[in-house]
Structure 1
Amino acid sequence: MPEVRSVSFGAWLTRGSRHESAARSGIAHFVEHMLFKGTARRTAEDIAQEIDSLGGQLDAFTAKECASYYVKVLDDHLPRAVDVLADLLVNPAFDPGDIEREKKVVLEEIKMVEDTPDDLVYELFTQRFWSGHPLGRPILGVPETVNDLDAATLRDYFGRAYTGGNLVIAAAGHVDHAAVRDLVTSAFGDLPSNVEEITNTAPASMPGLLIRDKPLEQCHVCLGVSGYPQSHVDRYICYVLNIVLGGTMSSRLFQNIREKRGLAYAVSSGFVSYRDGGALTIYAGCDADSVVEVVDLIVAELQQLRDAPITSAELVRAKDHLKGSLVLSLESTSSRMSHLARQEMYYGRQFTLDETLQAVEQVTVDDVHRVAKELLVPGTVAATVLGPVDGLALSEQQLALT
């Protein structure tokens, strides 16, 4: 991207919370925290000051299937930034005192989810929807497993997971490929290259209804059905279907629930996809007295999507939205870096922008109808309601998709 001066550089670990045991739930996320607490060469304050002195941004996150560490700096500062990032990933200290302090931080983070109802309802939905499967467990872990962590356990996990064979390096911006390759070879060359074999099992979804009472101003509703894995051949059709259903302000759910009836401020749909499974989910926040009506309207929209083709105008609008949002996102170095890394992790190759735009353009009305009929099967809907639900007259029969 020669037109910019910035560089986004990321080290992506192909291990996440789904690769933990139930007894070690939350360890991937905890290790991510600990890598910022200091190394053999730098204290936590040193790390922060060095990145701040570059005017850069250093951050990380843990997801179900990966962990990402990334930095954004001016092109002239890339060597120093890579040196800092590599130091975190190669030489973490895992100081026992830091571990005990960070446990308190993570426990507060867990409490924060409990106090963020739109996050909590999705967490509760996922735990029930994929009950008994690693994808159903919270990324943060639970207090019991977090409190059990110690330096020996963290070092053992780090040694098995943080290897060269599990890392994908991606960079985007004003960079030279050969120069970046040399930086990576020098900075990450000490990492072992072995990869521990991990057996993944595909998740099985559990339909039904979960209602949890919590004193809130609103009720938060999450509905969902099983979706396709990340690399499914029909993924672009799913993207179009989601835009029509609830992905934009002109979508059916937004127009019929918010604009025409005023029942919710926030209402939307989304696809989440993993290597071997996925889900189509719908979220709405509404008054407790409106929950039943909102759920009925959502189910009616799902049935309509399954039983009748979308219009040609909806198809064109959805495809134009997808293509436009993709092109705009790739103008950001950080977005493009993430895009490169995810393609490498899931597909082992890079799709050109033209390939992606062509795949979106090839989606037809019949394609969307076919996929809707495959996904929206009677008896497969799951729902979670969180909020002041005392006396809520909602039953599983209302989710039936008859």
Structure 2
Amino acid sequence: MINRKKLSNGITVVLETMPYLRSAAFGVWVKAGSANENEKNNGISHIIEHMLFKGTKNRTAKQIADDMARIGGDINAYTSKECTSFYAVTLDEHLGNAIEILGDMFHNSLIEEQALKKEKGVIIEEIDMYDDSPEDLVHEMLQMKIWDNHPLGYQISGKKETVKAITRQEILDFMAQYYVSENIVISVAGNFNEDKVMELLETNFSQLPEGKRQSDCTVPVYFPSIYTKEKDVEQLHLNIAFNSIVADAEEKYALTILNSVLGGSINSRLFQVIRENLGLTYTIYSYGSSYKTAGLLHIYGAMNPTQLEPVFSNAFDIIEDLKSKGLTDDELSMSKEQIKTELIMGNESAKNRMNSNGKSILLKDYIIPLEETIHKVNEVTQEEIIAFARKYLVKENCSISLVGNLENVDQLKLLSK
């Protein structure tokens, strides 16, 4: 059962008790990510995520890690385009300790100048690591090109020169704007007593400042784009992106099934035809990246540069076949069963439920019950899937990203065929 409550300062709390478990997951979600930044402070949300682990008035960075280790728990965080999440997973008997530790980090983090300087160095190493990863580059840089000069296209980590220039005062000012009550959701799932947990949350989080919820970023314009980067690696990395739906669109159920059949599983058409039957690539799959105000559907593959043209042409042959004929009855049935299984199995994890509930309330302000989601998936028809494919999977409107050995690659030639 899911209950929704508020702390005295206005922070929304979503609670899901799972009494058959011996564990509990606890997360604090802040509606602040790279989509809330500008050119000058891009990367600041990610810096804050790091800095909250670097010491408080009561604990050093090592003591934060040690205190979680003492209760056998896992504490972590991540920054996305639309939010930042801090979370802990532990045995139910230690949930109170986890709440106190994260509360200390939110209330009492020092953001010391020396620690900030050191952590900037760590983040720059992280940026370099992504720059060395063709699979990351081929995705990130294409989004940046497609949503040109719009915050939704910004890199989550920021650029090195921007990260270096961000000051402690800018961090404090950003937190004063975004780390406020109406911009925060606390999510708890697992085995716990609701009244006791609410008391703990009130004690440890009610002193955070009250403040208004931040508005969503503006809707970006989709620009069909081509991005290429020469890189001395053996494989050529390809990303094809199509303009797609926002996260909350009713068409999301048709997209989920279409993606499963197109390239979302090992029995998908892209995998079975291009990898298994033709042996053109080891890795190929499709995936969606949908946000509050925009979305994309991607096809990613890594291959020998000589195989680019046949991979590209076969991918669009598969798409055209889907648009003209739709799915077989067997494909439709299998994909629905796969999605149903993933939903139910994911629903049995305290961490997954905490994540799903927290993100849903933060970004959509409601939670769709599992039974309703399964019903919606089961109701999707062939006609809806074909309509989605014809509307969005348009070759003339696609975007392409290529990272690797580009010596003999003519990207414009790919689109002309």
TM range (shorter): over 0.9
Please state if 1:106 is matched with 2:116: no
Q: Say which of 318, 322, 327 aligns to 2:335.
A: 318
Q: Verify the 8 A CA contact 1:269 1:281 in the aligned structure 2.
A: yes
* Aligned partner of residue 55 in structure 2, secondary structure: coil
Q: TM-score, normalised by structure 2?
A: 0.93
Instruction: Summarize the alignment of residues 2-401 of structure 1 with structure 2, pairs less than 5 Å apart.
Output: 2-195=19-212, 197-198=214-215, 200-395=217-412, 398-399=414-415
Q: Verify the 8 A CA contact 1:222 1:283 in the aligned structure 2.
A: yes
* Aligned partner of residue 148 in structure 2, secondary structure: coil
Q: Verify the 8 A CA contact 1:39 1:92 in the aligned structure 2.
A: yes
Relative distance call for 1:209 and 1:307 in structure 2 (3 A) is farther
* Aligned partner of residue 76 in structure 2, secondary structure: strand
For structure 2, list consecutive stretches of 5 or more residues without a partner in the other structure.
1-17
* Aligned partner of residue 22 in structure 1, secondary structure: coil
| Distance of 1:68 and 1:368 partners within structure 2 | 33
Q: Verify the 8 A CA contact 2:184 2:362 in the aligned structure 1.
A: no
| Distance of 1:304 and 1:247 partners within structure 2 | 17
Q: Verify the 8 A CA contact 2:42 2:154 in the aligned structure 1.
A: yes
For structure 1, list consecutive stretches of 5 or more residues without a partner in the other structure.
none
**How big is the shift at 1:350?**
2.1
**How big is the shift at 1:153?**
1.1
Name the amino acid aligned to 2:382.
Answer: V
| Distance of 1:24 and 1:346 partners within structure 2 | 22
Q: How many residues align?
A: 400
Relative distance call for 1:70 and 1:54 in structure 2 (3 A) is same
Name the amino acid aligned to 1:200.
Answer: C
Q: Verify the 8 A CA contact 1:61 1:68 in the aligned structure 2.
A: yes
* Aligned partner of residue 283 in structure 1, secondary structure: strand
**How big is the shift at 1:199?**
5.4
| Distance of 1:62 and 1:197 partners within structure 2 | 17
| Distance of 1:354 and 1:128 partners within structure 2 | 38
* Aligned partner of residue 207 in structure 2, secondary structure: coil
Q: Verify the 8 A CA contact 1:264 1:284 in the aligned structure 2.
A: yes
Relative distance call for 1:368 and 1:55 in structure 2 (3 A) is same
| Distance of 1:176 and 1:256 partners within structure 2 | 51
List per-residue Cα deviations over 1:109-168 (Å, max 9, x = no partner).
Answer: 000001111111111111112111111110000011100012111111111111111111
**How big is the shift at 1:217?**
1.1
**How big is the shift at 1:15?**
1.3
**How big is the shift at 1:393?**
3.1
| Distance of 1:45 and 1:197 partners within structure 2 | 33
* Aligned partner of residue 411 in structure 2, secondary structure: coil
List per-residue Cα deviations over 1:214-248 (Å, max 9, x = no partner).
Answer: 10010000001011111101111110110010000
Q: Verify the 8 A CA contact 1:382 1:399 in the aligned structure 2.
A: no
**How big is the shift at 1:250?**
0.5
Name the amino acid aligned to 1:88.
Answer: M
| Distance of 1:374 and 1:201 partners within structure 2 | 23
Relative distance call for 1:331 and 1:197 in structure 2 (3 A) is closer
* Aligned partner of residue 60 in structure 1, secondary structure: strand
Name the amino acid aligned to 1:96.
Answer: E
Q: TM-score, normalised by structure 1?
A: 0.97
| Distance of 1:346 and 1:43 partners within structure 2 | 33
Relative distance call for 1:265 and 1:347 in structure 2 (3 A) is same
